[in-house]
Amino acid sequence: MTEKTIIITGASDGIGRAAATNLKASGANVVITGRSMEKTKAVAEELKVPYYISDFSKLDEVRKLGSELIKDYSTIDVLANNAGGIMGSDRILTQDGYDRAIQVNHLAGFLLTNILMDTLCASKATVINTSSAAQQFSGEIDVNDLKLEKGYSRMGAYGKSKLMNVLFTKELHRRYNPEGISTAAFHPGVVRTNFGEEFGGSTKFLYSGPMKYVLRTPEKGADTLVWLATSIPGKDWASGEYYSNRKIKRPNRQAEDTQNAKNLWEISLKATGIA
């Protein structure tokens, strides 16, 4: 492949790490980010790629990351907003005042993308958002409720944040595809990662018990991300869509609501302080 500059967030483990490994081997100029210095540095040294440390539960750290990437890269061909996770059983607000799942899984990637927007547009970039089939089971979403004050459950918060990934993708396409940006959200499958081990709770058995042996490998989970990053938008795949196993899938009906997507964008702009 022609050498591309590809930034992957949440690449210290799981499908982010698998995607970074695959893309580096294919000749891409891969850049990784992660929350843990120890884990991210170890992956970067193994792959011989640059790395950045940023805790997405702190929006100031996302702003710092964005500024560093703008300074260091005049061209960004692919931004993979992959960082995220299933949070704890209790609702926890970040220091910025938002539900932790909503901030880490949606607001941080939204903020980073917008900080890099000029570079992404100039590069005719692809923006890939890691979503989940959990968005199908999110329940009714209120895009005004970024604190999840109207009822909280661990998996409900995760599902809502993953639905926001799809809404973000739809509105990013509507606003910026004419400027040259192509974008897609995708479901990686239920992947054998440290999701449950890191956050515990009711999903720990699924991710770290005997069931983990029937789950997808991170490499299989990363397949659609790698495909989107290396193939041609408009020819091989359609911008603004939600994918699973390299095929367009219909997301939650709420993701098809154009006004929902517009409202979430405007609310996210205010929440992240973007002018």
The answer to whether residues 65 and 54 touch, using CB atoms and an 8 Å cutoff, is yes
Q: CA 164 to CA 202: how far, in whole Å?
A: 23
The answer to whether residues 169 and 130 touch, using CB atoms and an 8 Å cutoff, is no
Concerning whether 207 is annotated as a catalytic residue, the answer is no
The answer to whether residues 86 and 201 touch, using CB atoms and an 8 Å cutoff, is yes
Q: Which of 51, 52, 98, 158 is catalytic?
A: 158
Q: List the catalytic residues.
A: 158
